[in-house]
Every structure is written in C-alpha cells, then in structure tokens.
A and B are shown apart, each in its own frame.
Chain A
Amino acid sequence: MNSPARDDYAVHTVMLNLWYGTFQALFDINLDVKKGIITSLIGPSGCGKSTYLRSVNRINERLGYVRTEGTIEVLGKNILDANVEILQVRKQIGMVFQRPNPLPLSIRDNILFGHNIHMRGQKSSKFDREDVVESALRRVLLWDKVKDRLQRKATELSLEEQQKLCIARLLPVKPAVLLMDEPCSALDPKGTEAVEELIWELRGDFTILIVTHNMAQARRASEECIFMLMGKVIEHGATEEVFLTPRQSETADYIEGRYG
C-alpha cells in the first residue's frame, strides 16, 4: 500500500488520457474518489463523464479502438496494469446502467448469477444460497415485494424494481466500488426517488460513483461532486460547495443552466 493519505481513496486516477481512435476524449484526468461516499459526475453531454466511469471497470475496452494512458488505482492497485485479471476488475467494480438490464432468468437466478460464477469452489449449500438471495434483496429494499415470486421472470418487474435488482445482483460478490451510469434516467419520478434513496442507503459500505444529467439529483444524492467539461475535470469538491460557491466560472455557468 501507499502513503496513509491515499488509503482514504477508493479510486486514485493519475494523468489519465483516453482516445477513441484518433479522438481524444479524456485529458490528463487526476481524480481521487474518497472511499465509502457517493461522488457524482456532472457535465454536459460528451464531456467525458461516462467515458471516465467506463474506464474504471475497463468496459470501454470492449469497443476495441480505445487507447488509454495513465493509471487508475482502485484500492491501491492499478487496474490498467498488464497483469490485472479483467474478470476480477469487473467483479470488484460493479456497474449499473441507464436502462435496467436484468438477465432473462428468474429473480432468484439474477441474484445468484454473480455469486455462482465467482464463489464457485467455496462451499455453498442450498441454504447459503437462500441467504444470499434474501440478504441481497433486503439490502435493496425489494425482499418484501418479491419474496413470494423469486422464481418469476425478472423482466416482469417494474423498471424501478428491475433497477434495484440490477444493484442487488452485484452485492453477493461484495464489490468495493459501484459505478452507476445515469441509473435513474429511465425511471419515473417516483422510481427515481426510490432508487436514489437506496443508493443513499448503500453509501458507507460501498464507494459509489454516479454519472448524472440531473443537477438536482447530484445535489441531493451525492457528497462530493465532479464537474467535467470537454474531457477535463474542471472542479471537484464537496457537493454543497460546488453548487453554492463554485470556484470556476465554467461550473457556475453549467449549474445555472447556461449550457448543457
């Protein structure tokens, strides 16, 4: 491990540059995301916030034409190192998407999917599995609603419940970081509120990095806030400060709705 100060950071990014083909999407990103809190990423479309988020569990690479320079240390380990196992990266760093994407399996099997893949070899009796399902669903406040229909298709749930399920299925493998890419943008206001509440509940146990287009959401549901523009980090601070007393004029302009 490194110096004590760096232990407070879950994601420590140094001089990250990223290109899609010849187009540079991220410029010299230096970011420290604190452990156990919710950090929101805001900025106008195309500012690189999603690109950054997707670099943290390396799913950008799937596109094939992406080139990355710099380091992203997650819990003290550079995930861009050659000897890093990408399957472990994806296990430790869970991701939630804009549109809920439950698997075409039952509710129960959705929860157990990651568990069955990553916890193989360790003794896991049927009883254990039931525990895993129950505690994951309880954690996302879904247990009481679905406990009687665990064998039903996950796609029958409402979008809000599906999104909660997508969060729940990450939990059994005990990820350190949860990345959320506009997790509420497909939901109605009530669903948004419920999922936001849930995310707020989860902080402390997980480091949560959330991309959002919704300024109000960033403000009420995050503790730190990062403002990005044109592939660069403009401002990063406590959410209240970023919103009330932004240090940069670009931040102020964006927050006041002058562009975006």
Chain B
Amino acid sequence: MFAATELNQRDKNTQTLFRMGFMLVTALLILPVLLILATLVYKGGSIISAEFLFGDPTNGMREGGIFPALYGTVWLVAVALLVSVPLGVAAAVYLSEYAGDNWFTRVINLAIINLAGVPSIVHALFGVGAFVLFFGIGTSILAASLTLAIMTLPVVIVATRESLQAVPREFREACWNMGATRWQTIRRVVLPNAVSGILTGVILEVSRTTGETAPIMFTGAAFFLPFLPESVFDQTMALSLHLYVITTQVPGVPEALPFGVALVLIGMVLLMNSFSIALRMWLRGRKKW
C-alpha cells in the first residue's frame, strides 16, 4: 500500500522532463538581454564619461559627446507623454466606465488594435502628412512628439482600460448606491486604484518612445544641429537617430562611439523604468484593498 508503482514513476519522470524543459526555455529568454547588455558594456563602456554625456559632438560626429541628442530625446519623450497619457487615459476611462458595448465602441476597439499594429514608418509618414504639412507645424519637436504619441496611444489605452477593469465592480456599485455620480465614482475610487496599472502602460510607452527612430526622422529629429532646441517648435537631435546616423551615414566613426550611444539609450530606458517601477510599488503599498 502507498508504494509508488511503475506508472507513478513514469508520470513523475515526464513531469520532471516538462518542468525542466519550460525552465530552460524561460532561461533562454533572459540570455539575449544579458548578451546585448554585456556586449554594449564591453564595447562601449570605456567611452562613457561626464564629457561624453554632457559634451557636444565634434569632428563630424566622430568624436566628442552626445549631449544635444540626449537632451533632445528627453524633450521628445516628455512632450509625447504629455500628449498621450491624458488622451489615452481619458479614452480608456470613457471606454471602460461610460460606454456600453455597442457598434461604436467595437469600431473604436478595432481601431485601437489596428493602430497598435501599424508599422512605425507608416506612423512617420502620417506624422509628416498630418502634423508637419497639413497642420503646418513644420519639422519640430512638437510634430515628432505628436507622431510618437499617436503611435503609443494604443499601449496607454489598453493598459489603462485593463487596470480600470481590474478594479472590482462592487466598489463602483457601493458608490452608486450612495448616490455618487459616475464621475465621482471614477475620481474618488476607480482611478486611485488603477494608477499602478496605468503606470505600467506609461513604462512601456517610455521605453518604446525613447528607442523609436523612424517616426521622428522625418518629423522633427535632425541629422546634426549645432545648437540645442529652445522650444517645441525647434528641431532637435535625438539619441536613436544619432545612433542610426553614426553607424550608417558617417564613415570613420570609432567603434566604441555607437556602442556608447546605445548603452546610454538603454541606460536611460532602464533608469526611467526602474523609477516608474519604484513609484508603482509605492502606490501599490498605499492601495486600500
């Protein structure tokens, strides 16, 4: 009695096999990330210095620093966030809290999914057509950021909507039963409990926006500029485009330079992500359920 049969043993072996298999595959997923980081640090780590981060590019971008590009990327991402977060959150609140399930919302949902699937170069062309030419903004930070914002809107909308829907329905009903309007319910109970989920969307957006090259190269990012942008109507350099330019367009760039730029780019994304993750953890701790 209670002794393992041969069949038990076979089942257990199969179980072990699959567990190890899945673990191995999972471990493989981390490998590329580690390899990329290691390569970047190995090949570009030596060039990172205060001078590199805060200096201007010299000698036809073959030497010197990357400050104008770094500065420009911060601008582009910040303006894109300022546009897409309010828009995306508002749209998600409408879709999740107000709109019913009808043909109108289904069309909008379809549009959001399709928007997420559009290649970034198509967004770029849309940005040129709509913002640069039609609205006459010209190639500028504003036009580039608007293009980035449109591109990342689906991410913000979907993440926000999901986090709104994760707030239990009972909370809303409790509010309504006390005579609160929908908006009071949203503002006092639903949104505060969805903030951490919304931040997840923002993190994803920041990462994607920072790295995108195509949508900005026709709309506002410049090959090289001898001055820093002073307003959103100026053009700017950007890290991602700078990396593209020095690897493909400029001959004789020392090897460490593009790897250094890539390292800074990734470092920036990681830095912003860890900040958002910390913020999210802090907010979760404050959650009241």
Q: Do these two chains interact?
A: yes
Interface residues on B, range: 10 to 19
**Contacts A153-B288, A154-B288; is A104 near B179 (CB within 8 Å)?**
no
Query: Is A62 close to B, CB under 8 A?
Result: yes
How many angstroms between the C-alpha atoms of A101 and B176 in the bound complex?
A: 12
Whether A155 touches B289, Cβ cut-off 8 Å, given contacts A101-B173, A103-B171, A113-B188, is yes
Chain A contact residue count (CB 8 A cutoff): 29
Determine whether the beta carbon of B288 is less than 8 Å from that of A117.
no
The segment from A3-11, A90-98, A189-197, A232-240 found at the interface with B is A90-98
Distance to closest chain B CB from A170 (angstroms): 7
Select one of B171, B176, B288 contacting A62, CB under 8 A. Answer: B176
Residue pairs across A and B with CB atoms within 8 Å: the count is: 63
CB atoms of B177 and A104 under 8 A apart: no
For the complex, what is the distance from the CA of A106 to the CA of B174, rounded to whole Å?
A: 15
- For residue A117, give the distance in angstroms from its CB to the closest CB of chain B: 5
Q: What chain B residues lie within 8 Å of A149 (beta carbons)?
A: none
Per-residue A-contact encoding for B232-270, CB less than 8 Å = 1, 0 else: 000000000000000000000000000000000000000
A88 on interface, CB distance cutoff 8 Å: yes
Q: Is the CB of B179 within 8 A of A155?
A: no
Residues of chain B lying within 8 A (CB to CB) of residue A104: 171, 189, 192-193, 287-289
Which residues does chain B contribute within 8 Å of A91, judged by CB atoms?
178-179
A108 to chain B, nearest CB (A): 11
Interface contact A57-B174, CB-CB below 8 Å = no
Contacts of B193 in A (CB 8 A): 104
Does B179 contact A118, Cβ atoms closer than 8 Å? yes
Q: With an 8 A cutoff between CB atoms, is B14 at the interface? A: no
Q: Interface of A with B (CB < 8 Å)? A: 57, 59, 62, 86-91, 94-95, 99, 101-106, 113-114, 117-118, 153-155, 166, 169-170, 173
**19 pairs across A/B with beta carbons < 8 Å?**
A59-B176, A59-B177, A86-B179, A87-B179, A88-B179, A90-B176, A95-B177, A103-B174, A103-B288, A104-B192, A104-B287, A104-B288, A104-B289, A105-B288, A114-B180, A153-B289, A170-B178, A173-B178, A173-B179
- Beyond the given pairs A101-B174, A114-B179, 20 more chain A to chain B contacts, judged by CB atoms under 8 angstroms and listed by A's residue number, are A59-B177, A87-B180, A90-B177, A94-B177, A95-B177, A101-B170, A101-B173, A103-B189, A103-B288, A104-B189, A104-B192, A104-B287, A104-B289, A113-B180, A117-B178, A117-B184, A118-B179, A166-B174, A169-B178, A173-B178
